[in-house]
Chain A
Amino acid sequence: MLNRRTFLSHAGLATAALAIPEALRAGSGPADWRLALADVPGDIATRRLRRVHGRAPAALKGTLYRNGPARFRRGGSASGHWFDGDGMIRAWEIDDGDARLAARFVDTPKRRLEEARGAMVVPGFGTPAGPDVPVSSSDDTNAANTSVMMAGGKLLALWEAGSATEVDPRTLATLGQKSFSPELKHMPFLAHPRIEPDGRIWNLGLSGRSALVWRLSASGALEASQIVPLPRASYMHDFTATARHLVIVLQPWLQDRMGLPYVDSLTWRPERGTQVMVIDKADLTRSRIFELPAFAFFHLGDAWEEADGTIRFDGCLEADPSFGSTAARAMVAGVHIDTPHPALTMIALHPGGRATLTSSGIMAEFPRCDPRQAGLPRTRTVHVGGYIKGAPFAHAVGVWDWAKERDDAYDFGARQLVEEFVPHDRWLVGTTINLDARATELHVLDAANVARGPLVTWRANVALPYGFHGNFVSA
């Protein structure tokens, strides 16, 4: 179901980007995307942003909190993977037409040890362990660098293989690793909790063929936790949920041995296909398994259920996991490896047991959905895209409409690296790295007319590395 119009418009954008003569990029090396993985030496004190263009919607007031790795190198040594840099929380505050930025590293045991040693020695997703590094739980390796969630008045810096870390939302000071109960200390907490429209939080923590299902109240208090056995030890960065079910996608990127770095314990076994496990939220012992052809993935959109019991959700599916296993390692060294781009794809789990994949025809990542409709029927998925050959990172933001089979997108051009955009009320809020200005920009777009471009753009006096995920918190 490749949509002709979408295909042509994207082909057009891609052609335009590629048509920019090299001469026009003079003074900017072909690999200046490396700015996206530059080290930030220390915390960024609060500063006002310069408005470059447009006007902020008067009703938009709050803070876009974002997280992402911002320190990769120390004393001649480097992280072995993009995912292993130290987490830095960025607070982009919008108020009365003005915008401010503050950013602070999460003060983790990993960062403290590496500061003291003056070297990157703590093992991670793709970083081997240095000599004599004490690791008694994965929290000793916790980079706290993947996303943020506000709960109970505290900001939680999220990772995936260990605890969330509490951060003061006003000062961004680290308060410590979060235990939701003493018995659950050091239990992993994925960076992609699924939050129901009334605020209840569901999340997973994974270890081999076991998942801990977390259920928290809207204020972040533990309501219940239960271990659920999984049919395979699959790498999982994200899961999804309908109003009544948890939907756990088990790609055939399987942990078949122990060891560090973690990514080296995984083997891609496409012949095993992808499995989807659907679990009843009201009784976690009740589950069904669906079988699909093999795909790799990091991110899924929210899921919903139809009257006949069909479950639908979209995801950004890759032909294989080579981005995570190889390209995202090489990036730290400034080397680009072309790997399959993720394709925005609808997955349907039919009541008879059949499962199907339907491609949108667009390449997309960082799918986000309106939080007011989480778990409920929806048609729109916010995403980034506009990839160009020969370099990593997205250049466009869009809203794909599954009913109209149409993408309402805005391409920032080859000189802007587009980070995740989050839907908030009538707007999309997100950041880009402007390679010419060597600065990070904050943008607000009209969610109903993305193609028009930013309603307002502010520019910081600093470039922050390309981040992962964030959330907008209303003032």
Chain B
Amino acid sequence: MFRLLAAAAILACAAPAAAAPLTFAFTGIETPKGAILMSVYDSEEAFDRGGKPLVSQMVAVAGTSVEIVADLPPGRYAVKAFHDIDGDGKMGTNPFGIPLEPFAFSNDAVGDMGPAKWTAAAFDFDAATPRHAIKIR
């Protein structure tokens, strides 16, 4: 019995760590070409200070919306994405670093003359919320 409970406990702990599909639904795409490049972060430190994302994915754009599915364990995440219209793999900027290609953050968070912060962009992912909508602008 003790062993069974222990095994159940291990399963209970392990279950949340199992990855599940989270669908990011991007809308508001105005130029039907290129690709959406998306980076998912799981820490404030990495998101706010230019650290490495947990996962990055790219999906080609054909219409005004795309969906990107990422397999993630339930947890707290934030996303940075941009529309790579010219297909050079980089977010186009002017000489002062102002974005020249459309971009967005999770929660449709907006920045204050800079990228949105983790506190505004972070959201919880679990089995009950398998979809996150983001408007590119």
Seen from chain A, the residues whose Cβ lies within 8 Å of a Cβ on chain B are 129, 132-138, 182-188, 205, 207, 210, 212, 227, 258-260
Binds A, one of B18-26, B31-39, B91-99: B91-99
A103 to chain B, nearest CB (A): 31
> Contacts of A129 on B, CB cut-off 8 Å?
112
Which residues of A lie under 8 Å from residue B103 when comparing CB positions?
136
- The one of B96, B99, B110, B112 in contact with A260, judged by C-beta atoms closer than 8 angstroms, is B112
Which residues of B come within 8 Å of A, CB atoms? 94-96, 98-100, 103, 110-114, 137
Chain A: which residue is nearest B114 at the CB level?
A258
Contact B100 A186 (CB under 8 A): yes
CB distance from A16 to the nearest CB of B (A): 49
- Closest CB of chain B to A433's CB: distance in Å? 35
Q: Which residues of A contact B98 (CB under 8 A)?
A: 136-138, 185-187
- Choose from A135, A182, A207 the contact partner of B96 (Cβ within 8 Å): A207
* Contacting residues, chain A, for B94 (C-beta < 8 A): 183-187
B110: A residues at CB distance < 8 A: 132-135
Contact indicator A136/B95 (Cβ below 8 Å): no
Inter-chain contact A135/B113, CB cutoff 8 Å: yes
What 8 A-B pairs come out closest when comparing CB atoms? A207-B96, A137-B98, A134-B110, A186-B98, A187-B94, A185-B100, A227-B95, A186-B94
A187 touches B112 (CB 8 A): no
Among residues of B, the one whose C-beta sits closest to the C-beta of A181 is B94
Q: Which residue of B lies closest to A258 (CB)?
A: B113
Decide if the interface of chain B is mainly helix, strand, loop or mixed.
loop
Report whether B96 and A187 are in contact in the complex, using a CB–CB cutoff of 8 Å.
yes
Chain B residues contacting A186 (CB-CB under 8 Å) are 94, 98, 100
Least CB distance from B113 to A in Å reads 6
- What are 18 of the A-B contact pairs (CB < 8 Å)? A129-B112, A133-B110, A135-B111, A135-B112, A136-B137, A137-B98, A137-B99, A138-B113, A183-B100, A184-B95, A185-B94, A186-B94, A186-B98, A187-B96, A187-B98, A210-B95, A227-B95, A258-B114
Q: Please report the C-alpha to C-alpha distance between residue A135 and residue B111 in the assembled complex, in whole angstroms.
A: 7
CA A450 to CA B113, docked complex, whole Å: 47
A188 to B97, CA, bound (A): 12
Minimal beta-carbon separation of A469 from chain B (angstroms): 24
Complex-state Cα separation, A183 to B98, whole angstroms: 10
Cα distance A182–B100 when bound, in Å? 9
Inside 8 A of B114's CB, which chain A residues have their CB?
A: 258
Q: A258-B113, A260-B112, A260-B113 are in contact. Are A134 and B95 (CB under 8 A)?
A: no
The chain B residue sitting closest to A186, CB to CB, is B98
User: For residue A187, which residues in chain B have a CB less than 8 angstroms away from its CB?
Assistant: 94-96, 98
B63 to A: closest C-beta gap in Å: 23
Once the chains bind, are A134 and B96 in contact (CB under 8 Å)? no
Q: How far does the Cβ of B112 sit from chain A's closest Cβ, in whole Å?
A: 6
> How far is A10 from B110 in the complex, measured between Cα atoms in Å?
53
Among A132, A212, A259, A260, point to the contact of B95 (Cβ < 8 A): A212
CB distance from A239 to the nearest CB of B (A): 17
Residues on B with beta carbons closer than 8 Å to the beta carbon of A184: 94-95
Which residues of the partner chain B approach A227 to less than 8 Å between Cβ atoms?
Answer: 95
Contacts of A188 in B (CB 8 A): 96
Q: Residues of A contacting B137 with CB < 8 Å?
A: 134, 136
Distance from B21 Cβ to chain A, minimum over Cβ atoms (Å): 30
The docked-state distance in angstroms from the alpha carbon of A136 to that of B114 is: 7
Residues of A close to B99: CB separation below 8 A: 136-137
A132 / chain B contacts, CB cutoff of 8 Å: 110
Query: Closest residue of chain A to B100, judged by CB?
Result: A185
Q: How far is the CA of A138 from the CA of B113 in the complex (A)?
A: 8
A129 to B, closest residue via Cβ: B112
B120 CB to nearest chain A CB (Å): 10
A137 to B101, CA, bound (A): 11
